[in-house]
Copies of this chain bind each other. A is one copy, B any other.
C-alpha cells in the first residue's frame, strides 16, 4: 500500500521532470541539481562558482529550503537572477516546484541553471527535476563513512564536490578512505576536492572548467544535431 503511493508520486514526478527537461533542451539551458547534507557548503560553493564563471556563461539559480530566503539573498548579492522556493517543511524539491517557478527567469538569456536542493542526503536523490547533471556536495567534516551509509545520493550523482578540504588538517579522517567509499558505490563518478572559504580556495578552477565545458558541449551537440 505504502509502496503504491510512492510509485504514484514518483511516476507523476517523472512526467513533469521530462517536461522540464524538454523545456531546458529547447532553450539550450544546462541544468545542475545540487544536493548534500545541511551545512555541506552548497551555497558557499555556488557563490564561488558564480564568481568564477559568470563572465563566460549566464547563470540563474533556484534555491530550495524549508524556510527563510537566506540562501537566495546570498546569491542575489552576486547580481545573478535567483528564485527561492520554500518547501514549508518538505524534505526535497520536486519537478513540479521547478516547473512552477522556472519561467520567472528570462530563459532565452540563461545558459546554466543551478538548482540547490533542500539540505538532505536522502530524499532529494529520488526526485528527478529534469537536470542534465547531478552534483553531491559532501563536507569532509561529515566523516569517512557517509557514502556507504547514504548510497542512493552517490549512485544517482555524476560528480561529487568533496568540500571543506581546508579543514583536513584538523580532522581525524583519511580522505582516501572517503574517496574509496564513494568509488565503491559508483566507480565512474567524478570527484573534485574543493574548499570555498575566502583565502583558502581549493579545486574551484577545475570544477568551474568542467561545468563551463559541459554547458558548451550541450550547445554544440544541439547545433550538430540541427546540421545532421
Output the least CB separation between A113 and chain B (Å).
Answer: 22
Find chain B residues with CB under 8 A from A65 CB. Answer: 149
Residues 33-91 of A contacting B (Cβ, < 8 Å): 37-39, 65-68, 70-71, 89, 91
Find chain B residues with CB under 8 A from A120 CB. Answer: 91, 120-123
A172/B197 in contact, CB under 8 A: yes
Residues 160-209 of A contacting B (Cβ, < 8 Å): 164, 167, 170-172, 197-198
Output the least CB separation between A161 and chain B (Å).
Answer: 15
Find chain B residues with CB under 8 A from A68 CB. Answer: 145, 148-149
Find chain B residues with CB under 8 A from A126 CB. Answer: 89
- Interface residue from B37, B70, B152 paired with A149 (Cβ < 8 Å): B70
Q: Say whether, besides A66-B150, A149-B70, A121 and B164 are in contact (CB < 8 Å).
A: no
* Interface residues in A, total, Cβ within 8 A: 39
Instruction: Give Cα A47–Cα B206 distance, bound, in whole angstroms.
Output: 39
Find chain B residues with CB under 8 A from A112 CB. Answer: none
Find chain B residues with CB under 8 A from A198 CB. Answer: 172
Instruction: Give Cα A5–Cα B7 distance, bound, in whole angstroms.
Output: 13
B152/A89 in contact, CB under 8 A: yes
Find chain B residues with CB under 8 A from A123 CB. Answer: 91, 120, 122-123
Please indicate which of the listed interface residues A122, A145, A152 has the most CB atoms of chain B within 10 Å of its own CB: A122
A146: CB under 8 A from chain B?
A: yes
Q: Say whether, besides A119-B149, A123-B122, A197-B172, A141 and B39 are in contact (CB < 8 Å).
A: yes
A118: CB under 8 A from chain B?
A: yes
Extra A-B contacts (13), CB below 8 Å, given A2-B9, A89-B122: A37-B38, A38-B149, A39-B142, A66-B122, A66-B150, A67-B151, A70-B145, A89-B126, A91-B91, A119-B121, A119-B122, A120-B122, A167-B167
Counting from the closest, the 9 A-B pairs by CB-CB distance are A39-B142, A141-B141, A91-B122, A37-B38, A37-B37, A38-B121, A91-B123, A39-B143, A170-B170
